Structure 1
């Protein structure tokens, strides 16, 4: 054994000499070929082929043969692998090995600091430094022996490596983990192109939001397509040149999250690109959507730790969602396999690579098959990378990348002995290589004395017993070469026999001293093998897991609710139509629509809801909301009409459910007010549990957000360097934007095929063509008037002025212009430009003849918009029906959907609320909230759900406490935060942050 080890090291140094001949050698060149034969092994060639008692032969770093009867070359170093397993080394398709991380400090976009508005990258590159297509991993790669060692110890022999920085990250390379010259380990220098939604260390202000990152990628695709045919007009743009060159490579997108995976795939579909998607671990929560991407996923095996929730004051701040994810995360890969969603596995997110195999074995325990795990680390990544002819299986001609283990690689007690990469031997753990467990006859002979015989039972590399009349624990150590053994002859004896020696196969021998200090010689003869230690991963009790719900929190559905035929009987029906308020009336709902309104209605197939003593209204519509979005403001530039709220909807936002409990059925999700021309808005229906696409209000006209005043000119910032600084500047930004849009529209009309697409200007042209409509953040009468003049100059109408707290001063001008008003009921004096706000504003504008809405602009206020509307009765004396219309029919009109929602009329969408009391009363509770004929909120079911949440929380807390009692490493209890976004938030990291378990406990 010792002789073989020395030979292996000596030969391994020369395997690639022929490739190194162009490099100078500081010494004497050694031209020996490295040839090895690994005999009597169980060889797992690939996922379908396992050979028993077989031989693997390698030469010059490549596999010669792997077969049961393989011929052994005369010059081969023969290694007996009896009882051992040989597998192909693993492939990690998502690594930054050898390329490092950028060292520039990120300052990012800070509303309170001067903005970096342009790129500071030197050279003929594009305008945004988060587009890093110039990064070529092959040019920055360098072998990192320390990191290579840690990856080899986890079983890896090959990696796809790229620099993890930027939105477009340049190219990745495939390299082995051999400790060789950089050029000798690279298998493919341009293997892949990489993307993300994270701009990385770029200090440039744009983008500052999720939707900005998506818009930048969309625009770059368009710019690159244009650049192919118009380089002269662009000049030299290396960013676009490299982008185009990289489109033929494997396209990998770091999404890191279930909804980001959907967003990335949707982006790829728009431009005909199928990404491989790097996941984060929560994607199992939306497997239907993951499967629909048709993507191959890269799944990490980085599972959350159990939290220390022993202190009940800590436990109460931990969300049920976080606890559910802790329990279910190890099952993710198994669930992907069950749904036939293709995937590879990566060690990328595991902090300590030593945990990779441990975590992978846990994933197998939780449902992932061993065969699928093996393929996800070998054939699947190798095939994707186009290197299956080189690595990924143990076939002749491929690189000699393989691991040697004590048993099946995914069993808990299996030891990984060695990892061979390109024919080079790297020890991982040689202890136990010889398989020393078993029974031996130990003979100890002192000079001139009669030999003494003992029964020696070795249990492993560090455990043994002496068995005679008593069983005596011995101190034993075997490091793969030397044996150390000491023991007492009786349990009461303090003196020890101390022995040292070597392993010569079935005979061990050496010297030592007896209990009297006399020199002795000893031998140990093998009798029989020891019994294999039971795999502790085989649990007696099946693993109990919670259920995936939609959304993945306590209020989620195991199965989404379905449309029903509903008959609401004997309610007070507020129609918002000419019939007014009907007492003791019935409403029949079929196929998601209102079928009939009247008295004495019947339907044999309907679910009957007793409305006696209750009130039925159309669902509340919030014209101005910021819920259900990952980001709200792209505030880095004055005009960002290219960004879209629709690109970053968050259907898991608990505020959807909470607002359903307040009778809201539709919300207009607006961009914020950080810039003059903000982003495109999205009208949604509050269909709790559906995905982001199914949230959208189908068929609704598209809108966009404009803003005026302090938020735009950034009065509160002493370091603002972004134009404009004044209200006059805001007006000029508008004029300039629409003049550019006019020129762009003319260019499209003149020669659309050769005009360069501009997503920012596309949206403004839609406005001028009456295909997109404006909702404008506004306060002060002077700028309201000036903005109307700008609109009329360019031939468009400002559809809605929102906030509009000085609207009572210019209501006649707004009416003449054709604008709607969406305002607060009684907000004033919260900043300078609202000093003149009055609570009578809504009533005054109504009496002038404007269509007036009451909006929330606030996640909490939206839960009681019926009460906000009721305030207009006190402040201005509007009628009850007029007040109710301000949160139902009027916003429907403003949003151009009054033909579908806003009143109770046959043929309209069945968006309804059944109230316990008068809908404008502070005592009114929404008992049932119905969207498209589907009951999405039921107060009785909500009460039952709260009981279930408490029970499930208790179960998971006790399970975490059990982990602590079992000695598991625990993480501190971590509060769960919810970012509540509003108009003035300037990126998706800002906003009101609250500790929010989402469980309403």
Structure 2
């Protein structure tokens, strides 16, 4: 019944202020039929438009007129607002106002059979309508009105697809027939799971993105009438697709990811997030997305303890300093956004955050637009709210001064013409320190907070004291502990406009004597001194703010102040490991130009080139890590299903991972970022160049070969999980998963011509494998499973490209060669779990000797930066030549990844992904002097030394500034260490 009533009220509210035929037993102030006028105010009708000594006339909740010389009817109720300012009330576009908080559930199950008639995945809850969860909250409304808000868009913040939102006026004097401005204002999405279900899928960000895509593909299929069953979730996705589409993303990287999903499904999302967007402002502007921008700038860290200071990484220090500049930077770049209180602990923090942003250059007009006109346009309500114009809702705030000044008070918030008094603007300001002499005793009365608190001193003794204010009357009760009992003195006084520096009244002493008194306001010398100090500190603070410090590419430690570009470089007299038929060349020159290896030979010259004397050094192609898990955000495994071919690591490449720089320092230039090994059919890979300071998309190989991760063994069958419940649970079950899915893929491929063909991203990927368009890297250990996997592949007509780990490869090398599979293994890992008991360090050498294309990989962020030393182990264990061993981490992985036409050797025309080593690269003493990717020097040993010095200086500077902030009394947070998870194959958490 409640849901039906809300729907009726909401529909009526869209055409009228309220049902006029309803009986009205409310206070007459709730819905006033008379005209009301506020006169003599400074009225800001919209950003940049100010009217001095102006009036606003309202009736029936609407603005009748506004201006300097408007005609006010004789029967109007007139309020003198001289000295005040009037602004449009704010509009919140992303709230959970009035929503019922859903129950938390633990994750675990794969499907909820109780949700028949809805989408198969319970995190897609598009059928939810905010109005069904709505109950007006007058207390929360008042807190938002105090912050300046008159209208909020609200929805249930739960799920990946969250359903529709609604727009509500914060009118505590009205009812929902008036307040509900739109009962379906937009369709909402997020990257967060629902708390109303324990369905396990998705467990990662890439899984969430895949689910968002597939649910939209399914909605299109459903809309064409192809489904034989009813699905309320898909019906809702389709029914609401013409509404504004919102998605909560979060940080700058997720803003770009959200837009990428939108592009794939044909939607331009309004994106909630981007508090750090200034670091990628050009890329975010290029999305053309409108943002709903949180302003929850971080507090300074308490770094007074030098031992705790080192817990805070440089990126977090920079964020504290630079984040308040974000709104200004976005505004200047032309990125359209509305400001939200989302993320703040309470709406009353809004003013302070805005003041901070304005210290960093955000103008009052830009701030006001982001709170009024921009959100009004976003909600398609510009014709009724957002500015103070004739015919619009009378939604405005009355303030004591200019809105964004430090000491400005919000007196009133008028919503739909209904007045909400937040602070009586007629009250005189009584704050200050007064001196009163009564019966020869001198009392000091220190009143603050508009007479909310008082401190009373009798000579140097502090008295117990309470204060009560009733309009202009003030009563103070003081107590003093005598020898026998407590005694009370009562003060009663009235403020007078004629002399606000003086309090007059009567005091009633404990002995019953009544005396008249006068308390005179004292000059606050201490406050003046503090003000002078504050002014000096503000000047220093502003100087500190003007300089945002280092903004680097990427904006973390070891980032460059400018985006690095390709250079023309001539390396002279190096020992060049070509990995080609020419072998190792002594005293040879290599010219790098336009990102390519231009020439290889002796006595080369190039006018204007940067010349590097490489005498006594070794020049090689860059190391290629065939199996890596660095540079991945929010989950390396999508563990919710036994097949997750629909997910891709390309969605979650983290270009700011410090391990990229560390790998460059170890000579690595290319990595295949693999999905983990939680399921037999895992996710798709990302093959990246380690272009430190470039965006994720710029790092991914253009025309990148297509790869996917398969897995066998203990991880897949969950034998080491404490609560593994998902099929398969045995090795024979793993085989059956492959059989089932490839049979389905064959049937799917045959169904393409059917009228009811349903596009399935997972099946599309498996069909690519069957058609030889996507290569498989398979996590493997035990020979029986390696044989099984090759037989399954041959049955379905495809070839396993690479067995990775493959620690029993020496047992089946002949069969691998016959099948055409390569092996990417560890150099000498063994016995770290049961299925590795038969591993031997000669594995790589034996596979190589049997004609298997063999590589060494890392699978580990620590090992990946010393893969040159791993290659050397093939010399020790098996007697592989140095030249061939070096190919284990360069040319061979390039061939396995099908990029050897571009990288992996020193050859004219190939990409200039090269490393200059100070020793033989297989020597334990070998350290890169230069590491280049596409002819760009991303690591240079001398530059690294200067980085370390500049980082020390920058940390000290930021530490000093945070200590200064704490000494000024600003809020701080505990020093904490922000660490990135170092993913391995079996990592299941973020």
TM-score for the superposition, normalised by structure 2: 0.89
Q: CA deviation at 1:483?
A: 4.1
Verify: 1:116 aligned to 2:120, yes or no: no
Give the equivalent residue in structure 2 for 1:447: none
Q: Is 1:431–1:478's contact at 8 Å kept on the other side of the alignment?
A: no
Verify: 1:36 aligned to 2:36, yes or no: yes
Alignment of 1:133-532 (within 5 A): 133-179=126-172, 180-201=174-195, 202-231=197-226, 233-430=227-424, 433=427, 481-484=471-474, 500-501=493-494, 503=496, 512=506
TM-align CA RMSD: 3.3
Q: CA deviation at 1:299?
A: 1.2
Verify: 1:601 aligned to 2:596, yes or no: no
Give the equivalent residue in structure 2 for 1:884: 886
Verify: 1:721 aligned to 2:711, yes or no: no
Give the equivalent residue in structure 1 for 2:105: 106
Q: Return the match for 1:673 from 655, 677, 700.
A: 677
Q: CA deviation at 1:417?
A: 1.0
> 2:781 and 2:514 mapped to 1: Cα distance?
101
Alignment of 1:66-105 (within 5 A): 66-103=66-103, 105=104
Verify: 1:810 aligned to 2:812, yes or no: yes
> 2:722 and 2:925 mapped to 1: Cα distance?
46
Q: Is 1:432–1:479's contact at 8 Å kept on the other side of the alignment?
A: no
Q: Is 1:56–1:63's contact at 8 Å kept on the other side of the alignment?
A: yes
Q: Is 1:206–1:636's contact at 8 Å kept on the other side of the alignment?
A: yes
> 1:845 and 1:591 mapped to 2: Cα distance?
38
Unaligned runs of 5+ in 2: 1-15, 438-444, 454-464, 478-487, 521-527
Cα 1:292–1:68 shift into 2, 3 Å: same
Deviates more, 1:417-426 or 1:212-221: 417-426
Deviates more, 1:965-974 or 1:951-960: 965-974
> 2:141 and 2:708 mapped to 1: Cα distance?
51
Q: Return the match for 1:568 from 568, 571, 584.
A: 571
Give the equivalent residue in structure 2 for 1:492: none
Give the secondary structure class of the aligned counterpart of 2:46: coil
> 1:480 and 1:369 mapped to 2: Cα distance?
38
Unaligned runs of 5+ in 1: 1-15, 109-114, 445-455, 465-474, 488-494, 525-530, 990-1001
Q: CA deviation at 1:940?
A: 0.5
Give the secondary structure class of the aligned counterpart of 1:870: helix
Q: CA deviation at 1:361?
A: 1.0
TM-score for the superposition, normalised by structure 1: 0.88
> 1:164 and 1:30 mapped to 2: Cα distance?
31
Give the secondary structure class of the aligned counterpart of 2:165: strand
> 2:617 and 2:930 mapped to 1: Cα distance?
11
> 1:786 and 1:457 mapped to 2: Cα distance?
85
Give the secondary structure class of the aligned counterpart of 1:979: coil
Verify: 1:700 aligned to 2:701, yes or no: no
Q: State the aligned residue count.
A: 933
Verify: 1:648 aligned to 2:652, yes or no: yes
Alignment of 1:527-566 (within 5 A): 539-541=538-540, 542-544=542-544, 545-566=548-569
Q: CA deviation at 1:906?
A: 0.4
Superposed CA offset, 1:257-276 (max 9, x none): 11100000011112221111
> 2:307 and 2:446 mapped to 1: Cα distance?
52
Q: CA deviation at 1:967?
A: 2.0
Q: CA deviation at 1:760?
A: 0.6
Cα 1:690–1:496 shift into 2, 3 Å: same
Alignment of 1:17-32 (within 5 A): 19=19, 21-22=21-22, 25=25
Cα 1:55–1:838 shift into 2, 3 Å: same
> 1:260 and 1:432 mapped to 2: Cα distance?
49
Q: CA deviation at 1:434?
A: 5.3
> 1:838 and 1:701 mapped to 2: Cα distance?
31
Give the secondary structure class of the aligned counterpart of 2:19: helix
Q: CA deviation at 1:605?
A: 2.0
Verify: 1:780 aligned to 2:782, yes or no: yes
Q: Is 2:255–2:274's contact at 8 Å kept on the other side of the alignment?
A: no
Q: CA deviation at 1:385?
A: 0.4
Q: Is 2:124–2:160's contact at 8 Å kept on the other side of the alignment?
A: yes
Cα 1:711–1:658 shift into 2, 3 Å: same
Deviates more, 1:614-623 or 1:40-49: 40-49
Q: Is 2:206–2:647's contact at 8 Å kept on the other side of the alignment?
A: yes
Superposed CA offset, 1:742-777 (max 9, x none): 0111112x34x6411011110010011111000000
Q: Is 2:19–2:177's contact at 8 Å kept on the other side of the alignment?
A: no
Q: CA deviation at 1:580?
A: 0.5
Cα 1:228–1:537 shift into 2, 3 Å: farther
Cα 1:206–1:239 shift into 2, 3 Å: same
Q: CA deviation at 1:27?
A: 10
Superposed CA offset, 1:678-700 (max 9, x none): 00001100000111100101123
Give the equivalent residue in structure 1 for 2:979: 977
Give the secondary structure class of the aligned counterpart of 1:332: helix
Verify: 1:584 aligned to 2:578, yes or no: no
Cα 1:578–1:743 shift into 2, 3 Å: same
Q: CA deviation at 1:511?
A: 5.2
Q: Is 2:665–2:865's contact at 8 Å kept on the other side of the alignment?
A: yes
> 2:427 and 2:911 mapped to 1: Cα distance?
72
Give the equivalent residue in structure 2 for 1:663: 667
Q: Return the match for 1:916 from 915, 918, 932.
A: 918
> 2:258 and 2:345 mapped to 1: Cα distance?
26
Give the equivalent residue in structure 2 for 1:827: 829
> 1:94 and 1:553 mapped to 2: Cα distance?
30
Superposed CA offset, 1:71-100 (max 9, x none): 223332221111100111101111000113
Cα 1:940–1:509 shift into 2, 3 Å: closer
> 2:786 and 2:446 mapped to 1: Cα distance?
92
> 1:135 and 1:924 mapped to 2: Cα distance?
61
Q: CA deviation at 1:809?
A: 0.7
> 2:880 and 2:887 mapped to 1: Cα distance?
11
Q: CA deviation at 1:316?
A: 1.0
Superposed CA offset, 1:271-294 (max 9, x none): 221111111512222111111111
Q: CA deviation at 1:433?
A: 4.7
Q: Is 1:412–1:537's contact at 8 Å kept on the other side of the alignment?
A: no
Q: CA deviation at 1:635?
A: 1.1
> 2:448 and 2:808 mapped to 1: Cα distance?
86
> 1:676 and 1:901 mapped to 2: Cα distance?
30
> 1:810 and 1:429 mapped to 2: Cα distance?
82
Q: CA deviation at 1:296?
A: 1.1
> 1:157 and 1:665 mapped to 2: Cα distance?
54
Q: Is 1:137–1:171's contact at 8 Å kept on the other side of the alignment?
A: yes
Deviates more, 1:35-44 or 1:879-888: 35-44
Give the equivalent residue in structure 1 for 2:485: none
Give the secondary structure class of the aligned counterpart of 1:354: helix
Q: Return the match for 1:634 from 633, 638, 663.
A: 638
Give the equivalent residue in structure 1 for 2:739: 735
Give the secondary structure class of the aligned counterpart of 1:74: coil
